[in-house]
Chain A
Amino acid sequence: MLKYLLRRVLELVLTLVLSSFVVFMLTEFSPGNVARKTLGPFALQEQVDVLYEKLHLNDPLLVRYVRWVGVLTGLEADPLQDPALDLDFHDPRGNRYFGNFGYSTLYKAPVNDVLWNRLGNTALLAGLAFAVIVPLSLVLGILAGMRAGSALDRLVSTASVVMTSVPEFALGVMLVAVFVVSLHWLPGTSTLDPSGGWPVAAQLVLPVATLAIYDAGYVARMVRSSMAEVMTRPYIRTAVLKGLPRRQVILRHAFRNAMIAPFTVMLLQINWLIGGVVVTELVFAYPGFGRMLLDAALFGDISLIEAATLIALLVATTTQLLSDIGYRFLDPQSRR
């Protein structure tokens, strides 16, 4: 088991290194662009040329990547903070420390001052959505899968296809049209600032619902098919014939074995939630990580895009690792 863990952690690190290179390649492929975007659209061409020289942007991509990793890990000083450049980039943490993501040109602040607060807000949103998705999809999936082909099964299955066919942006707009515009029950924007008259809890209802409904349909389908499969196994028939009450057969015998496959799917939903968060936060003006990533991408804030994508990748790969390890714990067969 330890050997397996070690191998998986090494694989995770390798994937992270390779994907961070992909991110770097996507954002900094054209060096002229890097200097121009750092200085903004109003900088003179001479200033751009000077920065191009100072940052050695004509070096090969791989050399620039290694240098960027050096800054990130604190082995090298951030070249943009050099006072000689006169960029007015100040970071109270200094110019050389571990986790130095650089300076955000969009927010005019060190990336580390912007990132974590936003990430916390998004963790709240995603956490609440996850807390809705898991019980909802479990109940729906078990009810449907318990008696495959029943009327309830068909109802739940149809409902879950419909749920997965409504993308977050369409769902968000529909929910706003009903609950905000027509019924006036809830606020249409979720700025997490209670001074607008709506308590924060009310502001969270619609964003959480938007995230949860789309994903819950998908997970419910997984739970349903796993449950339906387990219900056909001989040991369930034995348990029923033995005269055990139905509730006990479902909860003690079927449920545990039916949960192995959906467990993996549920953890992988965190990867989906990161994407959903970008859209949902835009719909509801939520001050989170996803909208920050989108703003950074649209503005061309290179350091912030790189930092945000790296964090998203770290979350995605870690949950994948956790789901693989959990799967091995739950399913004795996969340990062989």
Chain B
Amino acid sequence: MSDVQTRPLIAPAPSLPAMPAIEPAPAERRAPSLLRRLPTSRVAMVGLALVLFWIAVASLAPVLPVPSPTAHDYAAIGHPGPGARHWLGVDPLGRDTLARVVWGARTVLAVAPAAVLAAYVVGCAMGLLAGYYRGWVDVVVSRVSDVILSFPVVVLYVILIANIGPSAMNIVVAAVLSSAPAIARIVRGLVMSLMHQDFVAAAELRRESDLYIMLVELLPNCRGPLITDFCLRLGYVTIAIGTLGFLGLGLPPPTPDWGGMVKQGTAMLTVYPGMSLYPAFALVSLVLGFNLLADGLTELSMSD
């Protein structure tokens, strides 16, 4: 939390030379940034390792020695268990489970960060406007947030995707709609606590534009709690994508999608449980990675 109070980014003010020197910034005493201290937290490093593993798998998918994720091996359907040709077995349509887990990583690691980034752009904009201008802007933003946050998340996702149709773009839209209000609330609170600080007053004296103050003075000073929230939210959205896939509202087939694979395997659970369990383990390990990373970051920011 204390990261919020670190040195504000004050640019020299050429237009007001008479202004008394604004408190000399204690640049030397400033604690090393949160990300630089990451290696000191074992929890965070385990999380980072899990996430990096899946990023590596996703980016190397085309060169890894796995079969095509959409090719059907009809001969294997009778014996879906693991074998020499299919290390983790095949799904009910004869498609290689290992290949689909590998290519599924690509899907989730493309959609989840895109969705969280988009949610952050919208949420930060809402929070900055509400916290900076207060008044009716704040009332509107807070009321909209209240209304959207009163929906149980899964219910919101289900009625939204069932209406606008399942596609990667629509999953991003749903994630933005459900996450942006929560981000806006955090940013609004942080901005309101920063508004009384000297560096905001200094920027106002320099007659900086509102946009400059919001983006250059306020937003960078909100980053501490936001970095942790970002990791947590990546985990939530990964779970949401998996859940939608499981509910039959995920990416349209034949795109490999971990949640959809788990669902497909449930019918064959008595024959070969691996069909469901491997994609489930993949999803859990990625979410665990994001959560451990967030946990380590929280711990680090608390220990300052």
Contact = CB atoms under 8 A, between A and B. Distances in A.
Given A26-B160, A165-B284, A312 B155 contact: yes
Contact of A170 (B148, B153, B249, B283): B283
Nearest to A275: B154
Contacts, number: 123
A109 interface: no
Contacts of B162: 297-298, 300, 305
B108 to A, nearest CB: 12
B228 interface: no
A235 interface: no
A317 B159 contact: no
Interface string B230-247: 000001000100110011
A198 to B, nearest CB: 16
Contacts of A164: 291
A223 to B, nearest CB: 16
Contacts of A177: 269, 273, 276-277
26 contacts: A11-B146, A15-B147, A18-B147, A26-B159, A162-B288, A167-B239, A167-B242, A169-B262, A170-B284, A173-B265, A173-B269, A173-B276, A173-B277, A177-B277, A272-B153, A274-B154, A274-B155, A275-B155, A276-B154, A278-B155, A279-B243, A293-B158, A297-B159, A297-B162, A305-B159, A313-B151
Interface of A: 11, 14-15, 18-19, 22-23, 26-27, 29, 157, 161-162, 164-170, 173-174, 176-177, 180-181, 188, 271-272, 274-276, 278-279, 282-283, 293-294, 297-298, 300, 305, 309, 312-313, 316-317, 320
A161 B151 contact: no
Given A177-B273, A309-B155, 8 more contacts: A165-B284, A166-B287, A167-B287, A170-B283, A173-B277, A173-B280, A278-B154, A293-B158
B270 interface: yes
Interface string B138-164: 000001001110111111001110110
Nearest to B144: A18
Contacts of A283: 266
Residue from A274, A297, A312, A313 whose CB has the most chain B CB atoms within 10 Å: A297
A275 B269 contact: no
Given A23-B159, A279-B243, A170 B262 contact: yes
B3 interface: no
B288 A293 contact: no
Contacts of A22: 147-148, 151
A100 to B, nearest CB: 21
Contacts of B259: 169
A293 B270 CA distance: 28
A271 B150 CA distance: 8
Residue from B280, B288, B292 whose CB has the most chain A CB atoms within 10 Å: B280
Nearest to A221: B295
A275 B153 contact: yes
B225 interface: no
B113 interface: no
A188 B247 CA distance: 18
Interface in B248-304: 248-249, 259, 262-263, 265-266, 269-270, 273, 276-277, 280, 283-284, 287-288, 291-292, 295
A165 B235 contact: yes
Contacts of B155: 274-275, 278, 293, 309, 312
Interface residues of B, number: 41
A181 B269 contact: yes
A291 B158 CA distance: 11
Interface string B185-227: 0000000000000000000000000000000000000000000
Contact of B154 (A11, A18, A279, A320): A279
A206 B247 CA distance: 19
A305 B159 CA distance: 8
Nearest to A298: B162
Contacts of A294: 158, 247
Residue from B159, B263, B265, B280 whose CB has the most chain A CB atoms within 10 Å: B159
Contacts of B146: 11, 15
B160 A274 contact: no
Nearest to B154: A275
Given A165-B284, A165-B288, A165-B291, A181 B273 contact: yes
Nearest to A314: B150
B151 A316 contact: yes
B152 A272 contact: yes
Residue from A27, A177, A282 whose CB has the most chain B CB atoms within 10 Å: A177
B266 A167 contact: no
Contacts of A275: 152-155
A266 to B, nearest CB: 16
A317 B147 CA distance: 9
Contacts of B284: 165-167, 170
A177 B143 CA distance: 44
A300 B269 CA distance: 30
